[in-house]
A and B are shown apart, each in its own frame.
Chain A
Amino acid sequence: MSTIHLAINAKPYTVDVDPQTSLLMVLREHLDLTGSKYGCGEGQCGACTVLIDGKAQRSCITRVGSVSGKKITTIEGLANGDRLHPVQQAFLDVGAMQCAYCTSGMIMSAVALLDRNPSPQPNEIVDFMDGNICRCGTYPRIVSAIQKAAKATRETAAAKGASR
Chain B
Amino acid sequence: MNEKSQAQVPLEPERYELRAASPYHFDLGRRDFFKFLGAGIVVVSVLKPAVIAQESGAARQRRGESLPQEINAWLHIGENGKVTAYTGKVEIGQNIRTSLSQAVAEELHVPIENIEMVMGDTQLTPFDMGTFGSRTTPTMNLQLRKVASAARDVLVNLAAAQWKTDAQHLVAADGKVTDPHGNRSVEYAALMKGQQLTETLPAEDPLIPAANWSVAGKSVAKIEGREFVTGQHRYPSDQKLPDMLYGKVLRPPAFDATLVSVETQKAEQMGATVVHDGNFVGAAAPTSQLAEAAAAAIHAEWKSEPQISNKELFEYLRKNTTEGKDPTGDGDRYDAGSVDQAMSSADHQLRQTYTVQYIAHTPLEPRAALAKWDGDQLTVWTGTQRPFGVRGQLAEAFRIPEDKIRVLMPDMGSGYGGKHTGETAIEAARLARAAKRPVKVVWTREEEFTWAYFRPAGVIDVMSGVSKDGTITAWEFHNYNSGSAGIKTYYEIPNQRIVFHPVKSPLRQGSYRALAATANHFARESHMDELAHTVKMDPLEFRLKNLKNDRLRAVFEAAAKQFGWGKSKSEGQGFGMGGGYEKLGNVATFAEINVDKKSGDVKIVRLVTAFECGAIVNPDGLRNQLEGSNVQGLGGALFEAIQFDNGKILNDRLSQYRVPRFSDVPVMETILLDRKDIPSAGAGECPLIGVAPAIANAIFDATGKRLRALPLIPNGLKAA
Contacts and interface: CB of A to CB of B under 8 A. Distances in A.
Interface in B656-670: 659-663, 665, 668
Contacts of A69: none
B662 A139 contact: yes
B438 to A, nearest CB: 14
A38 B96 CA distance: 25
A81 to B, nearest CB: 11
B68 to A, nearest CB: 33
A103 B660 contact: no
Interface stretch (B342-350, B484-492, B499-507, B621-629): B621-629
Given A84-B226, A99-B93, A133 B659 contact: yes
B654 A35 contact: no
A138 B445 CA distance: 21
Given A129-B662, A133-B659, A141-B624, A100 B228 contact: yes
Contacts of A102: 364
Contacts of A21: 289
Interface in B396-440: 411-414, 416
A130 B230 contact: no
A42 B653 CA distance: 8
A101 B230 contact: no
Contacts of B198: none
B450 interface: no
A101 B235 contact: yes
A130 B662 contact: yes
A39 B229 contact: no
Contact of B413 (A37, A76, A93, A130): A37
A101 B364 contact: yes
Contacts of B363: 99, 101, 135
Nearest to B222: A95
Contact of B629 (A18, A32, A132, A137): A137
B630 A137 contact: yes
A157 interface: no
Given A34-B234, A100-B93, A137 B631 contact: yes
Interface string A92-112: 110101111111100100000
B414 A98 contact: yes
Interface in A70-94: 74-76, 78-79, 84, 88-89, 91-93
A126 interface: yes
Given A76-B231, A98-B628, A135-B414, A37 B668 contact: no
A158 interface: no
B235 A35 contact: no
Contacts of B366: 38
B653 A127 contact: no
A140 interface: yes
A23 interface: no
Interface string A114-150: 0000000000011101101111111111110000000
B620 A25 contact: no
Contact of A99 (B226, B412, B632): B412
Given A39-B365, A132-B662, A137-B629, 15 more contacts: A39-B364, A39-B445, A42-B445, A42-B653, A45-B364, A95-B624, A98-B93, A99-B365, A99-B412, A126-B663, A137-B630, A139-B631, A139-B661, A140-B668, A141-B627
